[in-house]
C-alpha cells in the first residue's frame, strides 16, 4: 500500500501548485500577519528579543516569540515571503501525511487501513486549507503526530515536541493534554512528565497571551457549508460508520470515547479544534471504509457502486475546497491597490478588520483595527472607534473619529458591502463619496482608496 | 404487453401533435428551460448567471434537464425539440406507470388502465402538455424506481434502478421524498420489531444517502441562503393566477377523484404489510408527499407526483375490484365491467379535457405578441412588472427584466417582491403604485388578462398621470413617466 502513500503525497502538493500557478499572492489574510510578525523577530531563535511590540495597529500589542515564528523567520532568510507562504505549509502537510501513515502502521493498523485513513486525511478540506495557508495549526499537526510517534521510545524528544505544540497557544496546549491523556490510557504509557510539562506551558500561555489563529472565527463544523477547517460531510458519515466498528470496546475505554465525543461537541463552538479533530475523523472514516470493504453484502454490485460514490464524495469535498481557497481574498485588484498605497506618505488606514493584516504587510501602514485587535489592551476602544467611523453618515462626526485615531487613508473593498454594510451608499461609503475632504486616490472593481485631506477654511457637511 | 406500446405511441402522437398545434409553450417554467437550452446551444453553458432575472442573481438549479433537451434541439431546433420532448415525457409516464403497476399487481389489464388514466388525468395534462420541466421527467423515473426497488437482487434491475434514482436526483429535489419513503418503510419495520432484510437495508440506505448527497451538492447554496428556514412554506403569493390552486379540493380535482379514492382504499387495506414490496414503498411515499403538500413545504410540482403515484395504486385497487367482481353473481357480465371501466375513464378524461383546454389557452398568442412587442419597443435595460407566473416569459420572449418569477428558491425576498407586485396592481392611489414601482425599480407595467381577472379591470392606470398607455390590446402595457419618483 506504499503507492497509496505516494498518491497522497502527490495530492498534498497539488493544491499548492494550482495556487502557485493561478495566483501571484497567497490567499487568506492571516498568514500575511504571521509573515510580518516573523519579520519583527528576524531570526530563528529569540536571541535579541523574546517579546516585541507590534505598533502596526492603533492599540498596539505585545507579541511573544514562538517556534512557529522562528521557523517562519528562518524561511524568510532563505526564500521570499511569498515563496515561504507557499512552501512551508506544503512541507508541513507532507510531513503530516508521512507521520500519520507511520504512526498508524506502528499502532497495528493493517496496510489497507493505514492507506484508507491517510487517503481520507489527505482529501479532507481542513488539510487542503492547511496546505495552502501558513498558520500555527499547519505547524502544530506534524509536531503533534511526531510527538505521539516517539512517545514510548524517545520520551525526551516527545516531551520537547509536545512542548513546542503547546507553546503555540491555549487550544494546542489543551489538545496536547487530551492526546497525552487518551494515548496514556489506551496504550498504558506513563505520560506524567509530558503532561506536567505541557500543563506548565499552558499556564505560561495564559499569562503571555499567545494568539493562535483567526481562522476558527469564521469556521463552521461542516466544510460543505462553508467551514474552512470543517469536516467533509462524507468523512463525517464514514467516521460514524468507523465508530460503530470500535463501539463494542466502549466499556473498556469509556473515558477516551467520552473525551472524543466531548471534543467534537466543543468544536462546534471552538472551531480551532477542528484541524486536530480532523485527524481523529480521518482515522475513523478510514476504518469506516475498511468496514464497508470487508462487510458481506447481499448486493455485491451495490457495494462497489457505494465505494465509488463515497470516493467521489470525498474527492469532491476536497476539490471544492481547493476552488474555495484559490478564490479567497486578496485578489490581484486588491493587492495592486494596497501595494500602491505603500508609496504614499505615512498615515494610518481605516478599513474593515478583515483587511487589516493585508494593509499592514502590503501597504506598510498602520491600521485602526485588524482581526487581532480584540486581544490588545486598547482593542475595545479601537473597535468602537472603527465601528463609529464605518457607520457614520455625518462628515463632522467622521472627521472627529478620524482625528482621534490619526487616520489619513480609507480603504473600501467590495466585500465590505456585505460584511460591514448591507448595500452601497451606507455610512462611511456614503460620506466619502459625497464630501470634498476625501480624495479618491485609487479605485477598481474591488477596492477604493480615499485620502482624508482636511480643509482649513471651508466647513463641509453632508 | 403490445397494448402498452400502442398506448405509448398514441400518447406521444396526441401530446406532441397537439403541442405542435399550440403556439409557444404553455407554462412559465418551460420558458426558463427553453432559455437554458438556447444558451447551451449557443455557449455550451446554462444560465447560472441570468442577467434578465430580478437583481441579476446567480440562479441555483440543476442544468441536467436543459442538457437533455439540448440534444434533440441540436437537430430540430429548440422549440420543436421542446414540443416533441413534452410528448416523449408523457409517453414515458404512461410506460412507467404501466411498468410499476404490472410489478405491483401482475395484472396487465389493470396496469394498462392505470397507465391510460395517468396520461389523461388533469394533473398530467396541466404539468406535461406543451411543457418542458425537470419534474415531468423525474416523476416517471421515480415511478419506474418504485417498480424496480423490490427486485434489486437481479443485477440488471439493480443497475437500472440506480440509474433511474441517480437521474431523478439530478433532475429534481422532489426525489428526496422517494428517499424519505424508503426510510419510512425501514423505520416502521424496525418499530414493528421486524428486522428488514440486509438487501432491503442496503438499497434503502444507499438510495437515501445518495439522493441526499446529490441534492446537498446541487442545492447547497440554497441551504446556505435560507439556513434553517429552507423547509419554508412555499410562498403562495407567487402562484396567484396559476392554473392549479394548492387547496385540498384543487389537489383532488387535479389528480382525479377515481385515482385518489382508489389510492386511499389501497392505503387503508395494505398500509405497511410485512413485506418489502413496491406497494409499501408507494404507500409510504404517498403518505410523505401528502403530508408535505398539506403543510405547504412542497409546491405544485408535488401534485403531479401525487397524481402519478395514485394511478399506480389505482391499478392495485382496480385489480382487487375485478377479483371481487368475479366472485359476485355478475361475474359473466362483461358489458357491466366495460361500462364501469368506461365510466372510470370518463370521470378522469372529462376534467382532463378541461385541463387541456385551460392549458392550451393559458398563454394566448395575443399575449405572446404583446411580450414580443416589449422586445422591440422598450429600452433594453428596462424592467417590467408582471404577475410572477409571467416573469420567465417576459425574460424569454420580451428579452426584458422581470421583477419576480416562480423561482423563489434562489432569493430570500421573493415573497416581499410578489407582495410589491400585488401592490402595484391593487393599490388605489397613484402614489402607492409609483412607490411600489420605485421599490421594484421598474419602468413598465404589463397588464395581462390574468392580472385583470385577479385584480379587476385595472382601468385606473389610464387615469394616473404617471403612467402612459403604450400598448392597448388584449394586453395593456403602461410606461412609468421618468418624472414620477414615488415615495420610498
Task: Decide if A302 and B203 are in contact by the 8 Å CB cutoff.
Answer: yes
**pLDDT at position B296:** 77
Task: Determine the residue of chain B that is closest to A306 in CA distance.
Answer: B206
Model confidence at A291: pLDDT above 80:
yes
Q: Give the span between the Cα atoms of A123 and A238, in whole angstroms.
A: 14
- Lowest pLDDT segment from A400-404, B133-137, B411-415: B411-415
Model confidence at A312: pLDDT above 60:
yes
What digits encode the pLDDT tens for the residues B60-77? 888 999 999 999 999 999
Q: Give the span between the Cα atoms of B301 and B447, in whole angstroms.
A: 26
The proportion of chain A whose per-residue pLDDT surpasses 90, expressed as a percent, equals: 25
Region B261-290: mean pLDDT is 79
Model confidence at B186: pLDDT above 60:
yes
**pLDDT at position A103:** 94
Region A283-290: mean pLDDT is 93
The proportion of chain A whose per-residue pLDDT surpasses 70, expressed as a percent, equals: 93
Looking at B197-330, list the stretches that DSSP marks H as alpha helix, in order from N- to C-terminal side.
198-226, 248-255, 257-270, 278-295, 301-327
Q: Which of A95, A161, A174, A165 is nearest to A136 (CA)?
A: A165
Q: Which CATH number fits domain B365-480: 3.10.310.30, 3.40.50.1820, 3.30.2130.10, 3.40.50.12610?
A: 3.40.50.12610
Of A237, A298, A305, the CB nearest to B199: A298
- Lowest pLDDT segment from A288-292, A408-412, B229-233: B229-233
Of A225, A298, A309, the CB nearest to B202: A298
What digits encode the pLDDT tens for the residues A430-458? 888 888 888 888 888 789 999 988 876 54
**pLDDT at position B71:** 94
Of A237, A299, A306, the CB nearest to B153: A299
**pLDDT at position B90:** 96
Residues of A with CB under 8 A from a CB of B: 224-226, 233-234, 237, 297-299, 301-302, 305-306, 309, 313, 316
**10 Å Cβ neighbour count for B372?**
13
**pLDDT at position B433:** 87
Of B158, B202, B224, the CB nearest to A225: B224
**pLDDT at position A433:** 85
CB-CB neighbors (< 8 A) of A302 in chain B = 152, 158, 162, 202-203, 206
- Most A CBs within 10 A among B148, B205, B217, B412, hence the mutation to make, goes to B217
Model confidence at B230: pLDDT above 70:
no
Identify the DSSP state of B151.
Answer: T
- Lowest pLDDT segment from A112-121, B80-89, B239-248, B309-318: B239-248
Q: Which is more confidently placed, A51 or B69?
A: B69
- Lowest pLDDT segment from A419-433, A445-459, B348-362: A445-459
Region A148-176: mean pLDDT is 90
Band (pLDDT 50/70/90 cuts) for residue A215 is very low
Band (pLDDT 50/70/90 cuts) for residue B468 is confident
Model confidence at A460: pLDDT above 60:
no
Among A355-369, B20-34, B76-90, B203-217, which range has the highest average pLDDT? Answer: B76-90
As a whole number, the mean pLDDT across chain A is: 85
Q: Which of B208, B93, B187, B213 is nearest to B147 (CA)?
A: B93
**pLDDT at position A461:** 45
Region A176-201: mean pLDDT is 90
Of B203, B209, B220, the CB nearest to A224: B220
Band (pLDDT 50/70/90 cuts) for residue A287 is very high
Q: Which is more confidently placed, B87 or B218?
A: B87
The domain locations on chain B are 2-362, 365-480
**pLDDT at position A377:** 73
Q: Give the span between the Cα atoms of B277 and A73, in whole angstroms.
A: 68
Q: Which is more confidently placed, B343 or A205?
A: B343
Task: State whether residue B272 is helix, strand or coil.
Answer: coil
CB-CB neighbors (< 8 A) of B197 in chain A = 298
**pLDDT at position B241:** 63
The proportion of chain B whose per-residue pLDDT surpasses 70, expressed as a percent, equals: 92
What digits encode the pLDDT tens for the residues B72-115? 999 999 999 999 999 999 999 999 999 999 988 888 999 999 99
Model confidence at B276: pLDDT above 60:
no
**pLDDT at position B362:** 77
**pLDDT at position B12:** 96
- Most A CBs within 10 A among B164, B203, B213, hence the mutation to make, goes to B213
Region A96-110: mean pLDDT is 92
Task: Decide if A299 and B158 are in contact by the 8 Å CB cutoff.
Answer: yes
Is residue A278 within 8 A of residue A319, CB to CB? The reply is no
Model confidence at A216: pLDDT above 70:
no
Band (pLDDT 50/70/90 cuts) for residue B488 is very low
Task: Decide if B206 and A298 are in contact by the 8 Å CB cutoff.
Answer: no
What digits encode the pLDDT tens for the residues A219-273? 577 877 777 778 888 888 899 888 888 777 777 778 888 888 899 888 888 888 8
For chain A, what's the residue count? 462
Domains of chain A listed by start with CATH number: 2-326 (no CATH), 332-452 (3.40.50.12610)
* Angstroms from B183 CA to nearest CA on chain A: 17
Q: Give the span between the Cα atoms of A340 and A361, in whole angstroms.
A: 12
| DSSP per-residue string spanning A192-248 | HHHHHHHHHHHHHHHHHT----SGGGG--SBGGGT-SSPBPHHHHHHHHHHHHHHGG
CB-based contacts of B487: which residues, under 8 Å, 6+ apart? B431, B434, B435, B438
Of A237, A297, A301, the CB nearest to B159: A301
Task: State whether residue A450 is helix, strand or coil.
Answer: strand
- Lowest pLDDT segment from A39-43, A173-177, A254-258, B378-382: A39-43
Phi first, then psi: give them for residue B487, nearest 5 degrees: -115, 130
Task: Decide if A305 and B206 are in contact by the 8 Å CB cutoff.
Answer: yes
CB-based contacts of B212: which residues, under 8 Å, 6+ apart? B176, B179
Task: Determine the residue of chain B that is closest to A309 in CA distance.
Answer: B210
Amino acid at each position: 500500500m506504499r503507492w497509496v502513500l505516494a498518491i497522497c503525497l502527490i495530492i498534498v502538493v497539488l493544491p499548492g501548485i494550482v495556487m502557485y500557478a493561478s495566483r501571484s499572492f497567497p490567499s487568506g489574510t492571516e498568514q500575511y500577519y504571521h509573515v510580518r510578525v516573523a519579520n519583527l523577530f528576524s531570526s530563528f531563535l529569540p536571541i535579541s528579543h523574546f517579546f516585541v511590540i507590534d505598533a502596526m495597529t492603533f492599540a498596539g500589542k505585545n507579541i511573544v516569540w514562538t517556534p512557529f515564528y522562528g521557523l517562519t523567520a528562518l524561511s524568510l532568510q532563505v526564500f521570499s515571503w511569498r515563496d515561504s507562504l507557499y512552501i512551508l505549509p506544503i512541507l508541513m502537510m507532507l510531513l503530516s501525511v508521512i507521520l500519520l501513515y507511520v504512526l498508524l502502521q506502528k499502532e497495528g493498523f493493517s496496510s489497507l487501513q493505514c492507506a484508507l485513513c491517510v487517503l481520507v486525511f489527505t482529501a479532507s478540506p481542513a488539510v487542503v486549507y492547511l496546505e495552502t495557508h501558513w498558520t500555527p495549526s499547519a505547524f502544530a499537526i506534524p509536531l503533534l503526530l511526531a510527538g505521539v510517534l516517539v512517545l514510548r521510545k524517545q520520551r525526551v524528544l516527545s516531551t520537547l515536541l509536545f512542548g513546542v505544540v503547546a507553546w503555540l497557544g491555549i487550544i494546542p496546549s489543551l489538545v496536547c493534554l487530551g492526546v497525552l491523556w487518551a494515548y496514556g490510557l489506551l496504550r498504558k504509557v506513563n505520560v506524567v512528565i509530558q503532561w506536567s510539562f505541557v500543563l506548565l506551558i499552558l499556564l505560561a500561555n495564559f499569562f503571555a497571551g499567545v494568539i493562535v489563529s483567526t481562522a476558527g472565527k469564521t469556521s463552521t463544523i461542516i466544510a460543505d457549508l462553508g467551514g474552512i477547517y470543517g469536516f467533509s460531510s462524507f468523512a463525517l458519515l464514514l467516521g460514524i460508520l468507523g465508530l460503530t466498528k470500535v463501539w463494542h470496546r466502549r466499556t473498556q475505554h469509556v473515558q477516551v470515547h467520552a473525551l472524543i465525543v466531548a471534543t467534537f461537541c466543543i468544536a462546534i463552538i471552538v472551531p480551532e479544534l477542528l484541524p486536530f479533530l480532523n485527524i481523529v475523523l480521518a482515522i475513523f472514516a478510514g476504518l469506516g471504509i475498511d468496514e464497508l470493504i470487508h462487510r458481506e453484502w447481499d448486493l455485491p454490485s451495490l457495494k462497489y457502486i457505494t465505494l465509488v460514490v463515497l470516493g467521489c464524495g470525498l474527492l469532491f469535498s476536497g476539490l471544492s475546497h481547493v476552488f474555495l481557497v484559490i478564490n479567497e481574498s486578496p485578489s490581484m485588484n486588491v493587492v495592486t491597490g494596497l501595494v500602491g498605497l505603500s508609496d504614499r506618505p505615512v498615515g494610518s488606514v481605516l478599513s474593515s478588520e478583515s483587511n487589516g493584516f493585508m494593509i499592514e504587510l502590503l501597504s506598510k501602514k498602520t491600521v485602526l483595527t485588524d482581526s487581532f485587535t480584540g486581544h490588545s489592551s486598547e482593542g475595545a476602544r479601537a473597535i468602537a472607534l472603527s465601528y463609529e467611523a464605518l457607520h457614520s453618515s455625518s462628515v463632522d462626526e467622521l472627521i472627529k473619529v478620524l482625528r482621534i485615531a490619526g487616520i489619513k487613508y480609507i480603504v473600501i473593498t467590495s466585500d465590505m458591502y456585505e460584511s460591514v454594510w448591507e448595500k452601497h451608499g451606507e455610512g462611511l461609503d456614503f460620506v466619502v463619496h459625497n464630501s470634498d475632504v476625501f480624495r479618491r486616490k485609487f479605485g477598481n472593481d474591488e477596492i477604493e482608496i480615499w485620502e482624508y485631506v482636511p480643509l482649513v477654511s471651508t466647513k463641509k457637511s453632508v | 404487453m403490445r397494448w402498452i406500446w400502442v398506448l405509448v405511441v398514441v400518447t406521444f402522437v396526441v401530446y406532441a401533435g397537439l403541442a405542435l398545434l399550440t403556439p409557444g409553450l404553455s407554462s412559465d417554467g418551460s420558458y426558463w428551460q427553453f432559455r437554458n437550452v438556447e444558451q447551451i446551444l449557443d455557449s455550451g453553458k446554462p444560465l447560472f448567471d441570468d442577467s434578465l432575472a430580478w437583481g441579476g442573481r446567480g440562479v441555483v438549479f440543476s442544468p441536467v434537464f436543459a442538457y437533455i433537451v439540448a440534444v434533440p434541439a441540436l437537430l430540430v431546433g429548440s422549440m420543436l425539440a421542446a414540443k416533441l420532448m413534452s410528448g416523449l415525457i408523457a409517453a414515458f409516464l404512461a410506460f412507467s406507470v404501466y411498468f410499476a403497476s404490472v410489478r405491483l399487481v401482475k395484472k396487465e389489464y389493470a396496469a394498462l388502465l392505470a397507465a391510460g388514466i395517468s396520461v389523461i388525468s388533469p394533473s398530467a395534462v396541466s404539468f406535461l402538455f406543451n411543457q418542458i420541466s425537470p419534474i415531468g421527467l423525474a416523476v416517471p423515473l421515480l415511478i419506474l424506481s418504485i417498480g424496480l426497488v423490490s427486485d434489486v437482487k437481479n443485477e440488471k434491475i439493480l443497475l437500472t434502478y440506480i440509474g433511474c434514482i441517480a437521474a431523478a436526483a439530478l433532475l429534481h429535489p422532489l426525489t428526496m421524498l422517494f428517499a424519505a419513503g424508503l426510510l419510512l418503510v425501514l423505520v416502521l419495520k424496525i418499530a414493528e420489531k421486524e428486522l428488514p432484510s440486509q438487501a432491503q437495508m442496503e438499497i434503502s440506505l444507499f438510495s437515501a444517502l445518495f439522493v441526499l448527497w446529490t441534492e446537498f451538492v446541487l442545492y447547497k447554496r440554497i441551504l446556505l441562503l435560507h439556513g434553517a428556514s429552507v423547509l419554508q412554506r412555499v410562498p403562495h403569493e407567487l402562484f396567484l393566477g396559476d392554473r392549479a390552486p394548492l387547496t385540498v379540493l384543487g389537489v383532488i380535482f387535479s389528480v382525479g377523484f377515481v385515482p385518489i379514492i382508489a389510492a386511499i382504499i389501497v392505503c387503508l387495506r395494505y398500509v405497511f404489510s410485512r413485506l418489502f414490496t413496491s406497494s409499501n414503498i408507494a404507500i409510504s411515499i404517498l403518505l410523505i408527499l401528502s403530508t408535505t403538500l398539506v403543510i405547504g413545504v412542497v409546491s405544485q410540482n408535488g401534485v403531479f407526483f401525487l397524481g402519478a403515484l395514485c394511478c399506480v395504486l389505482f391499478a392495485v385497487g382496480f385489480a382487487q375490484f375485478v377479483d371481487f367482481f368475479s366472485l359476485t353473481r355478475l361475474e359473466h357480465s362483461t358489458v357491466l365491467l366495460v361500462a364501469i371501466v368506461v365510466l372510470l375513464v370518463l370521470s378522469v378524461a372529462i376534467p382532463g379535457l378541461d385541463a387541456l383546454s385551460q392549458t392550451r389557452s393559458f398563454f394566448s398568442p395575443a399575449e405572446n405578441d404583446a411580450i414580443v412587442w416589449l422586445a422591440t419597443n422598450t429600452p433594453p435595460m428596462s424592467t417590467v412588472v408582471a404577475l410572477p407566473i409571467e416573469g420567465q416569459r417576459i425574460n424569454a420572449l420580451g428579452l426584458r427584466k422581470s421583477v419576480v418569477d416562480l423561482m423563489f428558491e434562489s432569493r430570500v425576498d421573493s415573497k416581499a417582491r410578489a407582495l410589491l407586485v400585488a401592490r402595484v396592481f391593487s393599490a388605489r392611489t397613484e402614489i402607492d403604485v409609483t412607490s411600489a414601482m420605485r421599490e421594484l425599480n421598474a419602468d413598465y407595467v404589463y397588464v395581462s388578462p390574468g392580472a385583470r381577472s385577479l385584480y379587476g379591470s385595472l382601468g385606473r392606470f389610464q387615469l394616473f398621470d404617471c403612467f402612459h398607455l403604450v400598448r392597448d390590446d388584449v394586453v395593456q402595457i403602461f410606461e412609468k413617466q421618468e418624472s414620477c419618483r414615488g415615495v420610498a
